[in-house]
């Protein structure tokens, strides 16, 4: 059997820094665990624009379609704000999601026990929190047509279109129910069915998939605004949340921040199964490119390291090795090793991005 293949796209901002630590960890698994991965690396986002005038070169897109998994750092930065919409760094990321058809974005909002005090929420509200947001990632207002800025009379109008077909809703609902069965067996679906017809269809289809295929899972529905409130009030009421692309964008970011562990949270974007039975997949940290601290060696590489752990589990069938890596990270946190985003405890000196990489390697 040939080695599994991984395409690394460090991207912009702190992307390259955090990815450098992941490279060291990949090497460790190759050396010490005889887990050989064929790693290739390429450009995405602003970095690709700088080199090629496009945020994702066609060759890179083609490579992404062929590998077993993609690991992405982050895209975007103020330097690229002036670019035309069509070549902004984000378009590279969105093209990957769309063309690889990665419709299910799994975003855990998990509170690491050692870090519960970093949350702006009270300890008892977040300690032990472990929810999974399943965000639809290839449709909705992110991709719907018509879209653009048009002349109308003597002024301009900005237009975007929210669009969901039944089958798009069905497949992401299935992902959510499948996940729920392996967790707390509870799904809460969020939309604005009281205001949007696309939300009415969403609610109806999720309910139908539930009734026909997953009646054993507990399903509830909530308006997205109430969902935002409840996430802030008592997030532990949730197990799996399934929602559309745009609501998922806001709700998952809010949930991630609530945990106090933003620099720690990985994500997986999964598509349909490939010939080998495993899903098309891209892994990324939940945090963004953080241009304000980029290049200073301050960034926390753990979210990206844990994204690689997710790749080990979901794409490379190496659940035991994923456990090993996650345990190493947990150990490092318990030992009190902290990057600059995690300061506040009495007498703790921050380690650098590389220092955190060292610590994880040592724990391995």
Ligand X SMILES: CC(C)[C@H](C(=O)O)[C@@H](O)C(=O)O
> Would you count residue 229 as binding ligand X (CB under 6 A)?
no
Q: Is 225 a residue of the active site? A: yes
Q: Which of 30, 54, 90, 171 binds ligand X (CB under 6 A)?
A: 90
| Widest CA span in the chain | 68
Determine the interface stretch with ligand X among 90-98, 168-176, 294-302, 341-349 (rule: CB under 6 A): 90-98
Q: Using CB distances below 5 to 8 A depending on partner kind, what does residue 121 bind out of ligand X, a copy of itself, none?
A: a copy of itself
299 annotated as ligand-binding:
yes
3-class SS of residue 290: coil
313 annotated as ligand-binding:
no
Asked if residue 147 lies in contact with residue 118, where contact means CB atoms within 8 angstroms, the answer is: no
| Sequence-ordered list of residues with C-beta below 8 angstroms from that of 277, at least 6 positions apart, any chain | none
Nearer to a copy of itself by Cβ, of 68 and 168: the residue is 168
Q: How far lies 194's CA from each of 75, 155, 160, 274, in Å?
A: 35, 31, 20, 38
Q: Which of 67, 93, 190, 262 binds ligand X (CB under 6 A)?
A: 93
Q: Which of 3, 194, 237, 296 binds ligand X (CB under 6 A)?
A: 194
> Would you count residue 65 as binding a copy of itself (CB under 8 A)?
no
User: What is the C-alpha to C-alpha distance for residues 343 and 204, in angstroms, rounded to an integer?
Assistant: 46
Which residues in 277-292 are b (16+ Cβ under 10 Å) and which e? Answer: ebbbbbbbbbbbbbbe
| Paired tokens of 111 | 């509170």
Q: Using CB distances below 5 to 8 A depending on partner kind, what does residue 166 bind out of a copy of itself, ligand X, none?
A: a copy of itself
Q: How far is the CB of 59 from a copy of itself (least distance, A)?
A: 24
> Would you count residue 99 as binding ligand X (CB under 6 A)?
no
User: What is the C-alpha to C-alpha distance for residues 315 and 294, in angstroms, rounded to an integer?
Assistant: 29
Instruction: Write phi, then psi, for 27 (nearest 5 degrees).
Output: -60, -40
| Paired tokens of 162 | 């929210």
Q: Is 142 a residue of the active site? A: yes
Which residues in 74-101 are b (16+ Cβ under 10 Å) and which e? Answer: bbbbeebeeeeeebbbbbbbbbbbbbbe
Q: Which of 35, 54, 65, 144 binds a copy of itself (CB under 8 A)?
A: 144
Residues found near ligand X in the complex (CB under 6 A): 75-76, 90, 93-94, 194-195, 225, 249
Residues found near a copy of itself in the complex (CB under 8 A): 76, 85, 88, 90, 94, 120-122, 125, 141-142, 144, 147-149, 152, 155-167, 192, 194-202, 224-226, 228-234, 246-247, 249-251, 253-254, 256-258, 262, 288
Catalytic residues: 142, 192, 225, 249, 253
């Amino acid at each position: 059997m040939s080695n599994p293949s991984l395409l690394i796209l460090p991207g912009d901002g702190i992307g390259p820094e955090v990815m450098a630590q992941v490279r060291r960890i990949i090497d460790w698994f190759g050396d010490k665990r005889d887990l050989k991965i064929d790693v290739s690396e390429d450009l995405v986002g602003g970095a690709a624009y700088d080199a090629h005038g496009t945020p994702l070169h066609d060759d890179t897109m083609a490579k992404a379609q062929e590998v077993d998994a993609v690991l992405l750092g982050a895209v975007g930065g103020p330097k690229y704000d002036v670019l035309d919409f069509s070549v902004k760094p984000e378009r590279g990321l969105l093209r990957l999601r769309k063309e690889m058809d990665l419709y299910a974005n799994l975003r855990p909002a998990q509170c690491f026990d050692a870090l519960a005090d970093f949350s702006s929420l009270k300890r008892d509200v977040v300690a032990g929190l472990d929810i999974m947001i399943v965000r639809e990632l290839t449709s909705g207002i992110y991709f719907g047509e018509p879209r653009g800025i048009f002349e109308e009379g003597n002024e301009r109008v900005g237009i975007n279109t929210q669009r969901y077909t039944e089958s798009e809703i069905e497949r992401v609902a299935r992902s959510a129910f499948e996940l729920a069965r392996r967790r707390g067996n509870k799904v809460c679906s969020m939309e604005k069915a009281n205001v949007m017809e696309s939300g009415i269809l969403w609610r109806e289809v999720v309910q139908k998939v539930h009734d026909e295929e997953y009646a054993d899972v507990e399903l509830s529905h909530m308006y997205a605004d109430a969902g935002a409130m409840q996430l802030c009030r008592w997030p532990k009421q949730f197990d799996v949340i399934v929602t559309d692309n745009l609501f998922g964008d806001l709700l998952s970011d809010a949930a991630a921040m609530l945990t106090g562990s933003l620099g720690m949270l990985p994500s997986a974007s999964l598509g349909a199964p490939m010939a080998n039975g495993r899903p098309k997949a891209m892994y990324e940290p939940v945090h963004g490119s953080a241009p304000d601290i980029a290049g200073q060696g301050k960034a926390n590489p753990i979210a990206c390291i844990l994204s690689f752990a997710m790749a080990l589990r979901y794409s490379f069938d190496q659940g035991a090795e994923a456990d090993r890596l996650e345990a190493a990270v947990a150990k490092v946190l318990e030992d009190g090793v902290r990057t600059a985003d995690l300061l506040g405890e009495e007498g703790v000196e921050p380690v650098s991005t590389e220092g955190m990489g060292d610590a994880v390697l040592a724990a391995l």
